[in-house]
Amino acid sequence: MSTASEPIAARPRVAPPRLNLLPEPPPAPKRSLWSRLPWLPGVAVLAVTLLSASKLMNSGSGDSSRDSAAPPPVATEFGATAALMCHGSVDVESKVLELAPTQMGEIVAVLVSEGQQVKEGDPILKINEEPARLAIAQAETGVKAAEALLAQAKQGIEQLQRSLEEQQSAIDAAQAQLSSAESDFKRLEGLKAQNLTNENEMNSKRSLVDALRAKVAAEKTKYRKIQALQPEDKIREAQAGVDMAKARVDAEKYKLEQCTLRARTDGTILRLNVAKGMLITAQMRQPPVILCPAEPRIVRAEILPEFALRVQPGMEATIQDEANVGTIWRGKVKRLADAYLPKRVTGSDPISVGGNDPLLLECIVELAPSSVPPRIGQRVRVALGTK
Query: Which pLDDT does position 255 carry in this prediction?
Result: 94
Task: Return the SS3 of 385.
Answer: coil
- Calpha distance 10→264 (Å, rounded): 135
* pTM for this prediction: 0.58
| pLDDT (tens digit per residue) in 319-372 | 999 888 778 899 999 999 999 999 887 654 544 444 567 899 999 999 999 888
Distance CA 331, CA 385 (A): 11
265-308 pLDDT, tens digit each: 999 999 999 999 999 998 888 999 999 999 999 999 999 999 99
The residue type at 179: S
Q: Please tell me the class of the 78-93+296-384 domain.
A: mainly beta
Query: Hey, where are the domains in the chain?
Result: 78-93+296-384, 97-126+259-289, 132-253
pLDDT at position 76 is 39
Low-confidence ranges of the chain (pLDDT < 50): 1-12, 14-23, 32-35, 56, 59-76, 348, 350-354
3-state secondary structure of 163: helix
pLDDT of residue 101: 92
**Distance between CA atoms of residues 103 and 119, nearest Å:** 22
pLDDT value, residue 354: 46
pLDDT of 53 reads: 52
Answer CATH for 97-126+259-289 from 1.20.1250.20, 2.40.50.100, 3.65.10.10, 3.20.20.240: 2.40.50.100
* Residues 6 or more apart whose Cβ sits within 8 Å of residue 131: 105
CB atoms < 10 A from the CB of 319, how many? Answer: 25
- Interval 316-325: pLDDT, tens: 999 999 888 7
E strand map for the chain: 84-92, 97-99, 105-110, 117-118, 123-127, 260-262, 267-272, 279-280, 289-293, 297-303, 316-321, 328-341, 360-367, 379-384
